[in-house]
């Protein structure tokens, strides 16, 4: 449990680190793109949304990859991703609460942010366990894709909750089918016993 709590706090660090980098890019883009406008204009540009997503997921990737030594199994790395996502979403939710937003919008955003970051971090952990060290950078692609879908649909005023729920179900189905076809579950290999209780 200690390792998961440490990973939760690493999620907080990942959120703070990515927030600083994203804010820096936001300022630079605002100066270069809209010298006479405020920064809210930049926040909804597709190129800024893509950049922000890549930065956020890259910070998660770096910190979760460093935890691969501690989380050796597939399920423990996936759970590490969940705790990293919890820490990350906690910071985003705190920043949301400090903004002047109506309560209904806050509640809906809290739910969306928590689900988004927990799901993308769990997916990152799962794919890190598959790709291991040589191809580890490929593990960032599925969470980036999901995060982009969420942010781009949200910026257009479309509810991304159905997309998140469908993505969650598809991800769980993918894990189940893949592991059953390969003869193992996320916790390890399936062991078949005969009637005498022997393998």
Read off the pLDDT of residues 124-146 as tens digits, 9 standing for 90 and up: 988 888 877 777 888 899 899 88
Query: What is each CA distance from 116 to 35, 36, 161, 176, 187, in whole angstroms?
Result: 32, 33, 9, 21, 24
Q: Which residues of 161-185 are buried (b: 16+ CB within 10 A; e: fewer)?
A: bebbeebbeebeeebeeebeeeeee
**Reported pTM:** 0.77
**pLDDT string in tens for the chain (199-residue length):** 788 999 999 999 999 999 999 888 888 877 766 655 555 555 667 778 888 999 999 999 999 988 877 777 777 888 899 999 999 999 988 888 877 666 556 666 788 888 889 989 998 988 888 877 777 888 899 899 888 888 887 777 666 667 676 777 777 777 767 666 665 544 443 333 344 444 4
Nearest Cα to 80, choosing from 68, 92, 90, 88?
A: 68
Strands 188-189 and 184-185: antiparallel
Q: How far apart are the first and last CA of the chain?
A: 32
CB–CB of 75/186 below 8 Å?
Answer: yes
Read off the pLDDT of residues 69-79 as tens digits, 9 standing for 90 and up: 777 777 788 88
Q: Where are the alpha helices (DSSP H) in 67-160?
A: 74-97, 103-131, 141-155
Q: Using CA atoms in the order 18, 59, 144, 81, what is the torsion angle rounded to 10 degrees?
A: -120
């Amino acid at each position: 449990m200690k390792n998961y709590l440490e990973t939760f706090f690493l999620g907080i660090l990942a959120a703070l680190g990515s927030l600083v980098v994203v804010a820096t890019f936001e300022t630079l883009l605002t100066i270069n793109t809209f010298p006479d406008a405020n920064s809210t204009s930049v926040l909804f540009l597709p190129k800024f949304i893509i950049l922000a997503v890549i930065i956020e997921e890259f910070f998660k990737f770096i910190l979760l990859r460093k935890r691969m030594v501690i989380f050796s199994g597939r399920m423990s790395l996936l759970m590490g991703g969940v705790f990293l996502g919890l820490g990350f979403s906690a910071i985003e939710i705190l920043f949301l609460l400090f903004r002047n937003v109506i309560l209904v919008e806050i509640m809906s955003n809290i739910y969306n942010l928590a689900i988004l970051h927990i799901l993308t971090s769990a997916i990152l952990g799962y794919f890190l366990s598959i790709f291991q060290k040589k191809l580890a950078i490929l593990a960032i692609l599925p969470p980036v894709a999901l995060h982009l879908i969420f942010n781009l649909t949200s910026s257009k005023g479309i509810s991304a909750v159905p997309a998140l729920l469908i993505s969650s179900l598809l991800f769980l189905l993918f894990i189940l089918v893949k592991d059953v076809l390969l003869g193992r579950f996320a916790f390890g290999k399936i062991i078949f016993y005969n009637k005498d209780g022997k393998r």
